[in-house]
A and B are shown apart, each in its own frame.
Chain A
Amino acid sequence: MRQQVETSQSIAKRDPARVMRLSRLGSFHQSRLSFMRILTRRMTRENWQFSRPVFDFDAKGVGHAVYCAHTPDRTYSLIAFGFDLPAEARSDRVIATSWDSTFTLFDGVPDASDIARLRANIPLQEAGRVSEKELSVSRANRSVRLWDHVVSRLAAGRQPDRHEVTKVGYLMRTTAVYGSGKLGAADREMIADRPECTAPFQIEMLSVFLIRTYVRDLVQHMANLRGGSQAVTLDADIARSMGIGNSTGLGMAPFVINHPMLFNNWIAAREQAIAVVRSLPAATRDEAATFRDLLERSIVSADIWSSAHDIQIAKLAQLRADLRLLAEHVAGADLLAAQPWNRLFLWAEETLGEDAQESLASLMLEPYGALVDPLADQMRDTDASAFRIDGSMKVAALRAILERAYGWALRIDWSQKDHCARAWYVSKEKLEPRLGERFEEPIAPYEQPLAPGRDAAALHAALADQSPDATLAAFLLAHPEHRHSVRRAQLVDRAPYAEIRDNTIGSDLLPIDMLRCKLSFFGATHFDPRSDRWVRICMFGNAPYADELASAQGDDWSYPPALRGEA
């Protein structure tokens, strides 16, 4: 294989100017490099063991449980607190103050004093306080309709209606999974050297993985208490089809701007994988068969993906049509010789919309775990020095960087209202990031630095009357207001996928594009926008449960079984 790669014409990574547009980032799909799949691969490979030392709930779901994940070296414990939440208190918003269930991932095995301490804090979420023994804090609400349906069906001795299950996809949805130091929890730096934590967001993904088991257990427990001897056990296939929902608002969107090097490393790893596969001179019959199988299952996935949001309905219609077009093309195409993946990809770029192009990009990686999966090691941010400004750089050099990386921003007339109609700010209550109308609300004085394009254009203008040979140290001494933009520009010069190359404050901005991009790297599926800045997704849908990991075949659970729709 290696020899073939070397003798073949090598395809470069895609141009950041093409990749880093919001409409494309907002069309990304999960892939082998998604953080959920990185986690489940490791759990299987290392044969993690799981236990449930505590499970103590009443008929209304009030109580607590402890779920332990035993890695070869240590134990992590999810502690779950369940409540009987009145319907009117159920809100996905960050301003909510109570939830159906709240959770923390504990570093080790909690003792009674830990449980007592956490019982006094975890249910309060942001109003509580945790310690460096806690690695995440999260909460979830029931999907009321499906929860009631499943409990009453199981209690009555019947399985839930598969159609109802498919329509929602989950019994509970998380509304926040906090990690890395939030509310006093351990910083990522404390655990980043552990092998199971090196890839991004592994603690958060493990939390959700364990929450999914808790939810299955709790719904069964409540059905058993209600139905007594009549109750039946939830069918394993139906249980597996359900993931954990997640409801995400604007709070997540600034993350990809505030962590440019990390964001670069995610995108760069996936682009590298795409380039490697496109460069392959040939594919085996098995590889082609794997691809064809997963393409069929992608079509199923798109078919059961529902949304009531106009933008998403239109995107879905095109994605479904495009995937069928792709399947027709693939049926007659030679996938074995003459750089088959590159030919297919070029065809798709000419023929399909961005959503299907990105779906194909992820699908092409599937047969090549050995080539793709090691790239996961490059997705964390270890380059602390990227923060440092090189003050010895000359003005002329920075101008050249700006013109190269921010040409798109220099071409925008930022004085036009449409191009700067929005402003990102943080609200006084709950410190929640929000997006407002700059010319209609009194928010401009509170604006967050989340418009790198506009700020880079301002920096470029300020450099116009500087001597080309002057150093940035001297420039910044007089112009501290450009310091953040100089830092970003120097970073983007080294990390070309670090910056969204699009307007993040224009009147036509869709923050859901930023959310979907980030969530696709988590491994989320079935994006269901509730507005232009609020999205529901499904996590770990069709994934093996802890007790199924050892017997799970392969790593392709993100694609639903092809026949499920007919069941």
Chain B
Amino acid sequence: MSHSLNEIAAHAKRAARGAGLSWGMAEEAARATRWLASHGLNGPALLCEVLAKNDGVPHVQVAPVSLDGDWHARACELCPLVLGTTLNDCADRLAQGDAINARHVSHPLLVIPFAAWAAIHLSQPVRVSFAGLRIDTDGDGIWVDDPQGDLNTPKAETVTFSRTDKRADPAQRPGFRGTVTSEIWARLDTFAQRTFAPATEASRLLGAGAGLSDND
């Protein structure tokens, strides 16, 4: 179904929070999902898979153990959302020309929006490479070189981020709508539902503060 991007972001934020992400992480997961959807990429479905995979898993287990050397999680695969926020937090490292390598990353397409925001911050395109593919982004546009169709891969052994040159060839630019299947929407909704307090008669009246007649 065609959704507004704000709907997708709002749904993704609730789902991410429902799956146990902190509010700040959920905010960025939502923006990333929206960004991907606006580019016609499979953000909502991948978010769904990551939330299911890491449901109940503490942040520390899916986060980089250290910011030195290659980034990797202690035992699990790196969560692409944690990798993404960490990459964006450390974006200035790319400015110096250094590459950042991350190992054992799940659903790596989800890190692309974070690379895009790093590119905006650096005023220079960022290249993300994993499996057999290469994606460049200048923040708004995206250039996908994906000869083997690995875009939605559930796992990459290595993901590399580096600064790259500005490109003259046309980029894929974002649109104003996103498509989410009803099945994915419903799966996200099961996570989102966890953030809603069950209603009681008392809260219905007290919590919203009404209770006077409106028939006047």
A interface residues, Cβ below 8 angstroms from B: 87-88, 90-95, 131-132, 141, 143-145, 180-182, 184-190, 247, 249-250, 385, 387-389, 391-392, 425-429, 431-432, 434-437, 441-443, 446, 449, 471-474, 476-478, 480-487, 511, 530-534
Tell whether, in the assembled complex, residue B86 and residue A477 are in contact, meaning their CB atoms are under 8 Å apart: yes
> Within the assembled complex, what's the spacing in Å between the Cα atoms of A485 and B22?
11
If the complex has contacts A132-B2, A190-B176, are A530 and B210 also in contact, measured as CB distance less than 8 A?
yes
Residue of A nearest to B193 (CB): A428
Q: Which residues of A contact B186 (CB under 8 A)?
A: none
**Is B208's CB under 8 angstroms from A443's CB?**
no
Contacts A443-B197, A483-B85; is A435 near B207 (CB within 8 Å)?
yes
Question: Binary interface profile of B, 12-43, with partner A (CB < 8 Å = 1, else 0)?
Answer: 00000000011111011001000000000000
Give min CB distance, B20 to chain A, whole Å.
10
Q: How many A-B residue pairs have CB under 8 A?
A: 174
Q: Tell me the bound Cα distance from A233 to B214 in angstroms.
A: 28
User: A184 near B7 (CB under 8 angstroms)?
Assistant: yes
| A308 CA to B5 CA, complexed, in Å | 42
The reply to whether A534 and B24 contact each other, CB–CB distance below 8 Å, is: no
Contact A391 B209 (CB under 8 A): no
Query: B121 near A428 (CB under 8 angstroms)?
Result: no
Separation of A385 and B2 alpha carbons in the complex (Å): 27
Contact yes or no, A143 B4, CB < 8 A: no
Measured in the bound complex, the distance between the Cα atoms of B6 and A471 in whole Å is 32
Q: In the bound complex, do residue A533 and residue B208 qualify as a contact, i.e. CB atoms below 8 Å apart? A: yes
Chain A nearest CB from B94 CB (Å) reads: 12
A480 engages B176 (CB within 8 Å): no
Contacts A184-B7, A385-B121; A425 near B197 (Cβ below 8 A): yes
Does B125 reach chain A (CB closer than 8 Å)?
A: no
The reply to whether A484 and B207 form a contact with Cβ atoms under 8 Å apart is no
**CB–CB A391/B197 < 8 A:** no
Quote the shortest CB–CB distance from B212 to chain A (angstroms).
Answer: 5
Contact B89 A132 (CB under 8 A): no
Cα distance A93–B209 when bound, in Å?
10
Find the B residue at minimum CB distance from A88: B215
Between-chain CB contacts (< 8 Å), 24 pairs? A88-B215, A91-B215, A131-B2, A182-B6, A388-B117, A389-B88, A391-B91, A425-B207, A426-B195, A426-B197, A427-B196, A428-B197, A429-B199, A442-B197, A446-B195, A446-B196, A476-B85, A477-B89, A478-B60, A481-B23, A483-B85, A484-B23, A532-B209, A534-B208
A436 to B22, CA, bound (A): 21
Residue B145 is within 8 A (CB to CB) of chain A in the complex: no
Does A511 lie within 8 Å of B197, measured CB to CB?
no
Shortest beta-carbon distance from B138 to chain A in Å = 14
Instruction: Please provide the 6 A-B residue pairs with the shortest distance between their CB atoms, ordered closest to farther.
Output: A483-B24, A391-B89, A181-B6, A434-B207, A181-B4, A533-B209
**Complex: A476 Cα to B28 Cα, angstroms:** 13
Q: Which of A131, A477, A486, A533 contacts B24 (CB 8 A)?
A: A486
Given A132-B176, A387-B31, A388-B88, answer yes or no on A483-B2 (Cβ-Cβ < 8 Å).
Answer: no
Is B146 engaged at the interface, CB distance under 8 Å to the other chain?
Answer: no
Chain B 194-211 interface mask (CB, 8 Å, partner A; 1/0): 011111101110111111
